[in-house]
Structure 1
């Protein structure tokens, strides 16, 4: 076994017992631990503080610095909660999860299931995208999630195990097109989740749009698959209603994607993300360098790229 794999395995073997213990903490102790992690991460390690501050200043230039600092602190506190909640998924019961993560407008998905439609579900890095996987326990269709595998194969296996708690099958990003095509070919009743607010590589970007008033490249892969395979698109809007409690809502973006102008679904998705951020900005994942490519649109790219046919 290569030395780097031995090292990765050693790190995992040391960390896993601690994660196992954290997963079995009652929620009051879990959040007490989260408070301690927050203190270390925010005050001692100062994890990506400059990135977060730069993002907040860029997106909210008219807000007082004191308000941005408040958002910053609340964001770090929430981030610590959310990652410990992800670990807690290892031990949480289905009944407890349904009490803590509630979903409205499920009838939209149930109606699409009755029509035997494969659904593309879009959501951002907002509130709790990890507990959103519990949606699988509310629907008949098989849940899939597109994800970026971790560099450590042992932790990657653990993440896949955690995210499979409610039946979700993960599709590595590099296999997305092939995986969706196979689901369509098999005519499998499925709901396929995408987290689509990341920043794509500039050289691969075909669509630039406004996100929080700033022109940036946008991922369009989910929309392209909707159009190619005639798959309806829905948005999962998540609100944090209290510490450890979330309420989400299914919003239909389009049940006839081929009739929507190209990039219309992508733009509609980002408008929903903006609404969530403006309602409660502390729950967005500000450590991402989401706006790093702002104002870098290639000069040869038109303001509205030429439409791509649904069969492309």
Structure 2
């Protein structure tokens, strides 16, 4: 594993030294390969687009698809650049608005949650520590990759600007620990992923789909009383982004159950409609259906268990790993 990591690290580091103009030439070539050659995940992308925008013509959807491929390839090159990009360059290329309110809350001792989606380029939000008061820690929750070498490599790139990566399973414990030590934190939650069957507690209408959504973020936010913002990322032009921090609530415990999650997805949907090509359409977002859930799963005492064998998430995950 160590040898694989070192090889990948050296290759990534060397490529990240290339100037943006050269990386974008690679991106242009990659676009021709993914969009017109192998047609990377074309069926998934096209299905997602046609079902999400029934009001758009085929010509409009084809344009969005092409733009998505271009921005997806740029995203890959921009993520490579994370390894060596300077702080000054990061501040110039990812600009934040609304951080004054976040810094005010942090100075008052409040921790802050920032809800994000897979909107390009979400990886560059790891530059947020450059805009936050110096005595506060910025954290990013993430799902560790199965390949330990690649997981270590991505973690190293994401933490270059002092954003701490915390595995999802350790998130609540880490956040509580920071609070107990008197250290307010800013925590980034990318919450538009597909939940596992045993983590489905809430469904919403999202982009014309009956959609199961992650609710763990809201549970953490309410438990730790974090002020909640939505990070609205806009692509200004190639290689330049703006993230508007939009306040959702400073009193999460006064909201009703799943209200914060509903707000988040409504705001994310608005972002997607504003710039449809800027969301990760290659992700099979709607592979779990309500019909399958109702057939095979049931909630008992706050836990989702399999109807047939009454397995909880822990026992089922253990059996599936065997």
Superposition deviation, residue 207 in structure 1 = 0.9
Task: Please state whether the residue corresponding to 1:130 is helix, strand or coil.
Answer: helix
Structure 1 segment 51-62 matched on structure 2, within 5 A: 51-62=44-55
In the alignment, does 2:30 pair up with 1:37?
yes
In the other structure, the counterpart of 2:206 is 211
Write the deviation string for residues 25-64 of structure 1: whole angstroms up to 9, x where unpaired.
1111110111111112222222211110110011012211
The two structures have a TM-score, normalised by structure 1, of 0.90
In the other structure, the counterpart of 1:223 is 218
- The alpha-carbon distance between structure 1 residues 188 and 129, as it changes in their structure 2 partners (threshold 3 A), is same
In the other structure, the counterpart of 1:102 is 95
In the other structure, the counterpart of 1:191 is 186
Task: Please state whether the residue corresponding to 1:262 is helix, strand or coil.
Answer: coil
Distance across 1 between alignment mates of 2:289 and 2:277? 22
**Aligned residues, how many?**
297
Structure 1 segment 1-312 matched on structure 2, within 5 A: 5=1, 9-10=3-4, 12-140=5-133, 141-296=136-291, 298=294
Aligned CA RMSD, in angstroms, stands at: 2.0
Superposition deviation, residue 262 in structure 1 = 0.9
Write the deviation string for residues 222-277 of structure 1: whole angstroms up to 9, x where unpaired.
11111112111111110001000001101111100011111110000001100110
Distance across 2 between alignment mates of 1:131 and 1:264? 28
Task: Please state whether the residue corresponding to 1:90 is helix, strand or coil.
Answer: coil
Write the deviation string for residues 82-116 of structure 1: whole angstroms up to 9, x where unpaired.
11111111121111111111001111101111211
Out of 287-296 and 83-92, give the one that drifted further: 287-296
Task: Please state whether the residue corresponding to 1:298 is helix, strand or coil.
Answer: helix
For the Cα contact (< 8 Å) 2:12–2:83, is it kept in 1? no
Out of 231-240 and 170-179, give the one that drifted further: 170-179
Out of 213-222 and 247-256, give the one that drifted further: 213-222
Task: Please state whether the residue corresponding to 1:198 is helix, strand or coil.
Answer: coil
Distance across 2 between alignment mates of 1:47 and 1:184? 44
Superposition deviation, residue 301 in structure 1 = 7.3
Distance across 2 between alignment mates of 1:263 and 1:27? 41
Superposition deviation, residue 76 in structure 1 = 1.1
In structure 2, the gaps of 5 or more residues are: 303-322
Task: Please state whether the residue corresponding to 1:270 is helix, strand or coil.
Answer: helix
